[in-house]
Structure 1
């Protein structure tokens, strides 16, 4: 005991506390994402469950690793610290790989999702599950159709219709004239896909920020844990101090020649 310097131990403890808080925030982010996607009617999206599971798993693993590192520092045991170091190395590699690949794939999200959603058109002939999800999006986001109100053909649902109060705000609603059925109705001017795409990109940006933040903390944890393991392996090694040599001025050689020493009696 006492082989690790107090300053390093305190720094490492503070680091693990922050690391555990980040893990808790990731779990909280997953809970909020689950609530928001359920409210907005996106509970049946295919990638939603996978993303939520990833958030929960990453948050839980982060907290466990932080507890492991704090325990190893407090007890000054090499085993937990080495395990912590290995987790930091693997974690930093995984986070950097995932973050870089996601950053390169981000610009392709919109065209890929647009092609996927256009396969649902026309909406009045889509499956009941797709129509239910779209109606929920339209009710929550006050939009009509994925790309246009014409996505519904001549069967515009009630979730597209503006209320009397909203009709007074011209920028929210537009009047649709169906020549085939001689009917005019007021529907939401906004379409759902751009709004949905905004939230998808927002979630992607948050995920990128989380991944690169974890990668930076993992690199910092690698450095701190490596120093602690080094101190445990070499407890009695004195610290290496770098000293700057001090040069004292010496008289030049020509001065010694010109001024020979005087002897008594001369």
Structure 2
């Protein structure tokens, strides 16, 4: 065997190994894309009840970024399989560019989640009470009303800091809420007009919602950030494999 034949055989073996490595990567990348999209959709559907109580759109934006990234990841995974087995350098270039775009999207989602995690406490302290007291039961603010009722029932709390926050409520002060002390959703056992009696045996008198909502959202921001950064780190290997395979293939005419 001549040196040239040996070199060509070595290059062929290397190329085949890279092809299979990239194919395996793309298989798991497709699964990861589905997972990323699922986390984004899960956040927007199952965990979005309290978005109307937040003054910032950052929480929702991070979830949308994950959904978009997940869809693009799945399309990119299919393209990567085609580019790998057809050994088309032009497709590999497109694949690498898409990988880079997804990488940046997921890094942005992770950074946004981290930044908002740091800002969340201050935002809730500044705005949650005003949102609850000024928008509850107001026409056109049904989303806030439903979110407040669900928040107070799900977390067994009443008001932002405690039940006395409802004394400043526009709804409590209105004729519509005659004799109501707090919304019925503050009651330990919800019955019609139970919010007219603010005895500790009847309502969650000392338990405010602000800390519980903050902890709830922070936990989900951790998940969003971890998924975004985690998948982005995995993509580095995909980009390395792609560059190596691209260099190992001969230039093709256009």
Measured against the shorter chain, the TM-score band is: 0.7 to 0.9
Q: Using the alignment, how far apart are the partners of 1:33 and 1:97 within structure 2?
A: 17
Q: Using the alignment, how far apart are the partners of 1:234 and 1:123 within structure 2?
A: 66
Q: Using the alignment, how far apart are the partners of 2:115 and 2:62 within structure 1?
A: 18
Q: How far apart are 1:224 and its partner, in Å?
A: 0.3
The residue matched to 2:249 in structure 1 has which SS?
helix
Gap runs ≥5 in structure 2? 1-10, 168-179, 191-196
* Structure-2 residue corresponding to 1:199: 216
Q: Is structure 2 residue 157 aligned with structure 1 residue 143?
A: yes
Q: Is structure 2 residue 29 aligned with structure 1 residue 19?
A: yes
Check 1:29–1:105 CA distance in 2 against 1; reply closer, same or farther (3 A cut).
closer
Q: Is the 8 A contact 2:27 2:77 kept in 1?
A: yes
Q: Is structure 2 residue 46 aligned with structure 1 residue 36?
A: yes
Structure of higher CA gyration radius: 1
Kindly provide the CA deviation profile for residues 122-157 of structure 1, in whole angstroms up to 9, marking residues without a partner as x.
369773523332112212332211221111126212
* Structure-1 residue corresponding to 2:207: 190
**TM-score between the two structures when normalised by the length of structure 1:** 0.69
**Number of residues paired by the alignment?**
216
Poorly superposed stretches of 4+, deviation over 6 Å: none
Q: Using the alignment, how far apart are the partners of 1:218 and 1:12 within structure 2?
A: 11
* Structure-1 residue corresponding to 2:145: 131
Q: Is the 8 A contact 2:39 2:224 kept in 1?
A: no
Q: Which moved more, 1:124-133 or 1:63-72?
A: 124-133
Once superposed, what is the RMSD of the aligned Cα atoms?
3.0
Q: Is the 8 A contact 1:124 1:155 kept in 2?
A: no
Q: How far apart are 1:185 and its partner, in Å?
A: 4.9
Taking the TM superposition and a 5 Å limit, the aligned residue runs for 1:68-107 are 68-100=79-111, 102-107=113-118
**TM-score between the two structures when normalised by the length of structure 2:** 0.72
Q: Using the alignment, how far apart are the partners of 2:115 and 2:60 within structure 1?
A: 23
Task: From 48, 51, 55, give the equivalent of 2:66.
Answer: 55
Q: How far apart are 1:190 and its partner, in Å?
A: 2.9
Q: Using the alignment, how far apart are the partners of 1:109 and 1:123 within structure 2?
A: 20
More helix by share: 2
Q: Using the alignment, how far apart are the partners of 1:52 and 1:24 within structure 2?
A: 14
Check 1:73–1:102 CA distance in 2 against 1; reply closer, same or farther (3 A cut).
same
More strand by share: 1
Task: From 5, 9, 13, give the equivalent of 2:19.
Answer: 9
Q: Using the alignment, how far apart are the partners of 1:125 and 1:23 within structure 2?
A: 39
Q: Which moved more, 1:102-111 or 1:67-76?
A: 102-111
Check 1:93–1:131 CA distance in 2 against 1; reply closer, same or farther (3 A cut).
closer
Q: How far apart are 1:67 and its partner, in Å?
A: 1.1
